[in-house]
Amino acid sequence: MKLNFIKNSSLKIRLAGSILLVAISILSVMFVINFIISRNFMFNNIEQNARNLTTARINELEKILKPLEKIPAGIAAFLESEDISREDIYTIIPRFLAANDDVYGICIAFEPVKKGDKATLDAPYFFKDKGSINDLNVKDSYDYTIWDWYQIPKMMNKAMWSEPYFDEGAGDVLMLTYSVPWYKEVNGNRILQGIVTVDLALDKLQKIVSSTKILDDGYAFLISKKGTFLTYKNSDVLLHQTIFSIADEYQKPEYREIGKKMIAGESGFADIDEFDTGENFRLFYAPVKVNSWSMGLMIPKDELFADVSELNFLLYFIGLVGIGLLTFFTFMITSRLTKPLKLVSTIASEVASGNIKSAKSSIIELTESNKQIDLMMNIDKNQIKDETVLLLRSFYIMLEGLDSLTQRVRLAVIQIVSSNNVINSSVKELEEAITTQAASTGEVTASANEINNNVNSLSVSVNKFSDNIVNADQLLNEGIEYIEEIRKAMDSIVNLTNSMVNKLNLISRKTSNINKVTSTIAGIADRTNLISLNAAIEAEKAGDFGTGFGVIAREIRRLSDNTSNSLMEIESIVNEVQNSVDDGVTSIKDFSIEAKKSYNYVNSVAEKLSRIIDFNKNLNPEFDEVNSKIQFQLESAGQISDSMIHLSSNAAHLKDTLKEFLSISQKLNEAVVSLRDSVKQFNL
Amino acid sequence: MPYKFTLALLCIFTSFISGQSQKVTLITHWIPQAQFAGYYMAYEKGFFSKYGLDVTIKNIDVDKPNEEELTKGNAEFITSFLSTAMMLSDQYDLVNIGQTSRKSALVFVAKAKSGIKSINQLKGKKIGIWAAGFQEIPRAFTARYDLNVKFVPIRSTINLFIEGGVDLMTVMWYNEYNSIINAGIDEEDMSAFFFSDYGMDVPEDGIYTTRKFYKENKTVCENFLKAVMEGWNYARENRKEALDNVIQRMKEARIPANYSHQSWMLDKVLKVIFPEGMSNNGKLKKSEFDFTYKILKDSGYVKKTLTYEEFIGQ
């Protein structure tokens, strides 16, 4: 899994967000399902109510209309079966009228009888007026044959209900007429004799429909078979508008579609917006079959869903509170979960900046007591369930490791520092020794030169003496003086030689001192190497935190390797010096022996000189021997001088090597200082 | 209302300069509806008063021809169909003082489901027609095409047609045509035969008076026409106002009224009065007279000779 670093939001928020998202999703789904189910339930319930209510109302309407249909039908049958006189009509019809409360008027309109060009109209009309029954003849008012109530049933050959109309005579009420044609058989043909009608005021029917209520603001309306509104809650619409003119005027094509279904005698439900208010309604419509009207029941949707909405609101409220609580607890838990993480992160930062001590104390602080730390550390890792504790535990273990590593490194640094100090003082000592050695060598050289000179002058003296031996007599006394001088010179040579041997011994001792120091240094270098190796291994364990150590450890190891190399070089040089000094000492010893021999010999010469004087003539060959021995002495002195020169040049080389060694030591020192600084970072 | 007040002042002023304002009555040839919106506007907006006329507008009782009202002295002016007026000109001594309509709005309508699609299919069919008159042109139409139809006079509704008591219905494009639509029959479900498409584009509504009145009151007649045409122009420019007035008049007359229907009517009537690309000064053209006269003469509705000049009072 890749970590998404782009989503730079806190774990707390992401965690809480995810939980809330899931919770809200589940709640929403529950909410929607509940809404749909309860809505459908309510919907079906109300729709069933609406259906029942409408059917009941329609039944009421038909209960009024159907019996009324029977009145003209009965009269028509009566007219068809009997020859009825005008008097009969004027007697019977008012009785019918009086017996039927719902009937406003009854008319018997005769089909005009043609007499030449003129047709005789006759339509006695009986109507109620202020409690009494009056009559008139319609023919006096108009040609009823072209009126709908007469013409349509006649043309259609069937009993029919008229479209409602205003009748001013009936007191400005909407009227409705049921017309029944009646016939007579004339020569086997059914010939129309006229139309019998009953009139009724629409107000009773209107009341039935307009008193229909569903929910708080639900209402019913009635339309005629032409779609004309017969009842509506807004009386402006009555008779003036058809459902189709409404559709056109208010640009509501759904009214036209529903209207077509209604006048076609269909029943059903439809969604409809109230044309004048725009409010949403559920419409149930069903036909009044008796007269092909249609009744509509408008159910306000907001009320229809009011109960659902109430339930939904409650659910919504509970849901909101729930989500609120969930949010609160999620934040609390995630805060608690992420708080140690934050601390661990702080601890890690502390470790990174070297504050191991404060990092450890932070962990201890976090676990509240050392006991818990111990508990945490001693429990088997697999038994710990809390990831945070596991993390802290791992962190603590890492810190412990880091701590011991830095402790050891610090100790190693201290060791290195002290070793370095020893090296420094040893080097200084060595330098002094070399300086002393140089001075001694100089002195030896000077002594050797002096010996040389003395030997030369001795040789000159011997030669002179040899030359002058001829004049021995004369010169004997001078010879004794010379011999005295030779003896003195020999004395000084012997002294000088001794002191030279002493000096050389001193050099030899110092040189072996150097050897001791170098072996000490070599030992230190080996140890340094070992320590740095360890440090490197520990650094590897410490991971990123140990990278610095690792680099320093490598540097120290490299320097200790250089030190070992230099030491080996120094050792070889010192060995050479030792050899030269040994050579010198051997030469000087040889010279000393020879010098002592010469001295003894001079003494014996001096002894013998007195006798020589005596034996003057025999003296010459002995002097030759002296001469040759001096010659040998001269060679020995030259050898010493050479050895010394060699020694001197070796010493100079040694000095150079020591300088180099010093600079290496200095670098080592610097490395140690840097190491010490690194270690210092760890506040142990 | 400062406007009305100004108007009233204007009326008083005009009556002063022209002496006594002339009281006249107009009886329209149908119930109040948008068909007469121009007359109502001429009245409401003071165009009649402007011309020194004190006009009373009345509606005809649809059961009687309004030409009778002229001779009875109940009205100085009536509106009527050109064809009807020509037929009755001799009987009532009518003079055409204005011709507002320029085109025919007559239509035969059948239900599409009746299967009637062509004019030949009208043969032998029952056609509803207004009992009160205006029958001559439809009859001339069916005679011209030799359709041998049976006309069924109907008082005023389309109910018989809706019920299926007649196969076709004679309707005015601006009136019953839309009543059928507003009774739930879609225009697509109607087969319509517009008279104007069958060589019967006879102008219709005009203004008539008696020859006697015309001779004595020529200026009044001219002013009356001017005011009416101004009224029509006003109605054309202010349809909403004109409609509101029509609806108000209809409600006062207890006639079913709705904006949908009256708006349709005003729209179509204005199309007939102000046909596209034609100006209308309100005067009957000789060509219009001749065209109509020939149809009526040919179909025998006019028997006596009638000249254009006679007809317009010259």
Instruction: Say what the pLDDT of residue A366 is.
Output: 67
Cβ contact B63–A142 (<8 Å)? yes
Of B160, B165, B256, Cβ closest to residue A240:
B256
- Residue A572's pLDDT band, with cuts at 50, 70 and 90, is confident
- Indicate whether A140 belongs to any domain: yes
- Tell if the CB–CB gap between A240 and B260 is shorter than 8 Å: no
User: Which of A392 and B256 is assigned the larger pLDDT?
Assistant: B256
Mean pLDDT across chain B: 91
CA distance B75 to B70: 5
Q: Where is pLDDT greater, at A139 or A365?
A: A139
Taking residues A589-610, report their average pLDDT: 69
> What value of ipTM does the predicted structure carry?
0.88
pLDDT score, position A168:
66
User: CB B182 to CB A239 under 8 A?
Assistant: no
Beta bridge partners of residue A178, listed in sequence order: A161, A198
Q: Which residues contact A327 (CB under 8 A, 6 or more apart)?
A: A16, A20
pLDDT at B43 over 90: yes
Q: Do B131 and A166 touch (CB under 8 A)?
A: no
Question: Which of A136, A146, A78 is closest to A111 using CA atoms?
Answer: A146
Instruction: Read off the pLDDT band of B1 (50, 70, 90).
Output: very low
For A112, the token pair is: 């005009």
Option in A147, A228, A260 nearest B155 (CB): A147
Higher pLDDT, A388 or B105: B105
Superfamily of domain B106-198 in the CATH hierarchy = Periplasmic binding protein-like II (3.40.190.10)
**Banded model confidence at residue A6, pLDDT cuts 50, 70, 90:** very low
Indicate the pLDDT class of residue A544, thresholds 50, 70 and 90.
low
**pLDDT of residue A2 exceeding 60:** no
Residue-wise pLDDT tens digits, A297-339: 999 988 877 777 788 788 888 888 988 888 888 888 877 777 7
Q: How many residues are listed for chain B in this entry? A: 314
Between A43 and B302, whose confidence is greater?
A: B302
Residue among A393, A340, A322 at smallest CA distance from A11: A340
In chain A, what residues touch B260 (CB-CB under 8 Å)? 241, 244-246, 248-249
pLDDT digits (tens, 9 = 90+) for B81-104: 999 999 999 899 999 999 999 999
**Listed range (A257-266, A557-566, B185-194, B273-282) with the worst mean pLDDT:** A557-566
* pLDDT tops 60 at residue B9: no
Locate the chain B residue with the closest alpha carbon to A242. B182
- Looking at residue A5, its pLDDT comes to 44
What's the average model confidence in pLDDT over B28-49? 95
Token digits for A394? Answer: 């791992």
Please judge whether A151 and B165 are an interchain contact, meaning their C-beta atoms are less than 8 angstroms apart.
yes
B251, two tokens = 């409600």
Higher pLDDT, A2 or A533: A533
- Per-residue pLDDT for A111 more than 80? yes
Mean pLDDT, chain A, as a whole number? Answer: 79
Question: Which residue, among A424, A290, A497, A414, has the nearest Cα to A684 in the 3D structure?
Answer: A414
Q: In this model, does residue B178 exceed pLDDT 90?
A: yes
pLDDT of residue A368: 61
* pLDDT at position A172: 67
Which residues of chain B neighbour A276 with C-beta distances below 8 Å? none
pLDDT for position A248:
94
Q: How many CB pairs under 8 A join A and B?
A: 83
- In single-letter form, the type of residue at position B282 comes to G
Rounded average pLDDT over A432-447: 70
Question: How far, in Å, CA of B102 to CA of B105, rounded?
Answer: 10
* Weakest mean pLDDT among A455-464, B11-20, B277-286: B11-20
Q: How confident is the model at residue A605, as a pLDDT?
A: 64
Q: Which residue of B has its CA nearest to A246?
A: B260
Q: Are B206 and B67 in contact (CB under 8 A)?
A: no
A642-656 pLDDT per residue, tens: 777 777 777 677 777
* pLDDT for the residue numbered A359: 76
Q: What is the mean pLDDT of residues A511-536?
A: 72
Nearest to A260 among B131, B153, B184 (CB): B184
> Quick one: closest CA in A to B160, which residue?
A152
- A602 in a domain, yes or no? yes
What is the span of the domain harbouring residue A174? 83-205
Domain B2-103+203-311 and domain B106-198, same fold? Reply is yes
pLDDT in the model for residue A595: 67
What residue type is A504 in one-letter code?
L
Facing B260 at nearest CB: one of A166, A245, A263? A245
- Mean pLDDT highest for which of A114-128, A180-194, A618-632? A180-194
**C-alpha angle B101-B103-B104 in degrees, rounded to nearest 5:** 110
Percent of chain A with pLDDT over 90: 23
Contacts of B155 in chain A (CB under 8 A): 146-148, 151
Domain of A192, CATH number, reads 3.30.450.20
- Output the pLDDT for position A623: 64
Residue A78 domain-assigned (yes or no): no
Distance CA A262, CA B140 (A): 39
Is pLDDT at A43 greater than 50 in this prediction? yes
Of the pLDDT bands very low, low, confident and very high (cuts 50, 70, 90), residue B222 is very high
Nearest CB partner across the interface for B160, out of A143, A155, A243: A155
Take residue B299 and report the two structure tokens written for it: 């179909």
Average pLDDT estimate for A670-681: 65
pLDDT score of B5 more than 70? no
What local confidence, expressed as pLDDT, does residue B63 receive? 63
* Domain tally, chain A: 2
pLDDT at A682: 55
Give the pLDDT mean for A123-140: 89
Share of chain B above pLDDT 70, in %: 93
Q: Which range in A232-236, A345-349, B169-173 is most confidently predicted, on average pLDDT?
A: B169-173
Closest residue on chain A to B161 (Cα): A152
Comparing B264 with A528, which gets the higher pLDDT? Answer: B264
Look at B131 and A243 and tell me if their CB atoms are within 8 Å: no
Return the residue of B nearest to A249 by Cα.
B260
pLDDT at A266: 96
How much is the pLDDT for A53?
93
Boundary (domain end) residue, out of A171, A205, A239: A205
pLDDT higher than 70, residue A478: no
In a domain, A377, yes or no: no
CATH 3.40.190.10 fits B2-103+203-311, yes or no: yes
Indicate whether B181 pLDDT > 70.
yes
Q: What residue spans define the domains of chain B?
A: 2-103+203-311, 106-198
Query: A244 to chain B: nearest residue by CA?
Result: B182
Taking an 8 Å cut-off on Cβ atoms, the answer to whether A156 and B152 are in contact is no
Which residues of B fall within a CB distance of 8 Å from A227? 182-184
Q: Could you tell me the CA-to-CA distances from A33 to A29, A38, A312, A550, B242 in Å, in that order? A: 6, 8, 11, 66, 55
Q: Residue B180: how many CB atoms within 10 A of its CB?
A: 24
Query: Residue A178's pLDDT is what?
Result: 95
Size of chain A in residues: 684
Burial A426-440 (b: 16+ CB within 10 A, else e): bbeebeebbeebbeb
User: Cβ of A151 and B162 within 8 Å?
Assistant: no
Record: contact B160-A240, CB cut-off 8 A: no
CB contact under 8 A, B165 and A152: yes
